[in-house]
Chain A
Amino acid sequence: MRNSIAVRRKQRQLSQAEVAVLTNVTRQTINAIENDKYDPSLTLAFELAACLGTTVDELFDFRGKRE
């Protein structure tokens, strides 16, 4: 699922590793989500949104889901 995690993360000057620590996942998972290779669970999506100061709806674009 396409998302704006990388953009918002950079706006907040956070690294993938820092976001990973804040959301209790590995850096590889954050990287996979940013590159549209893994769709996070609902819980993780909410945690990411909270961590980046936004909402799930704004962070993820369901219409941009890769086939």
Chain B
Amino acid sequence: MSGARRVVRFTFWSNFGTFLLLALEMGSFMYHLPLMVSLVTALILAGAVFFQVWYLRHHYGVTKVEEFYLAGDERDRNIAYRVHNSCLYFLTQALEGLLVAVFLLLLAGVTSAVALGTWILEIGFTILILSNCQYYYLWQKYDAA
């Protein structure tokens, strides 16, 4: 397994864990869970992000934050270009979908700021998870091709 593939796999799972913690954090506000739950989740979330950065730096030698930080050579860069292109296209479509969704929600009578914000957060969260899965799937697909 190439270094780039290992980085992609680690990033996928660590992002997935981060998203779960983020969902818990969001849920604690939406469903009025005790403040302690929110505080502990926020601390774990911050720790998880620091751990991700630390692990990438010490185990995969990622020292720079740039577009193709995981690309080991020209083939990896080629794969990264194709994956990023597809993901950007998806994210653009998703953003347009989000705007349409807000418009439809307003038409449907969801005018409360809290309700609307909750919907937007939930849709945005779904987009993040889908995008993460798309990145991992496409990288595996192009790397195997």
Contacts and interface: CB of A to CB of B under 8 A. Distances in A.
Interface of A: 24-29, 32, 37-38, 40-41, 44
Contacts of B145: 37
Chain B interface residue bracket vs A: 10 to 19
Given A29-B73, A29-B74, 13 more contacts: A25-B72, A25-B74, A25-B75, A26-B2, A26-B73, A26-B75, A28-B2, A28-B143, A29-B75, A29-B76, A37-B145, A40-B74, A44-B74
Contacts of A41: 74
A24 B76 CA distance: 13
Contacts of B75: 25-26, 28-29, 32, 38
Contacts of B143: 28
Interface in B68-83: 72-76, 78
A27 B5 CA distance: 13
B3 interface: yes
A3 to B, nearest CB: 15
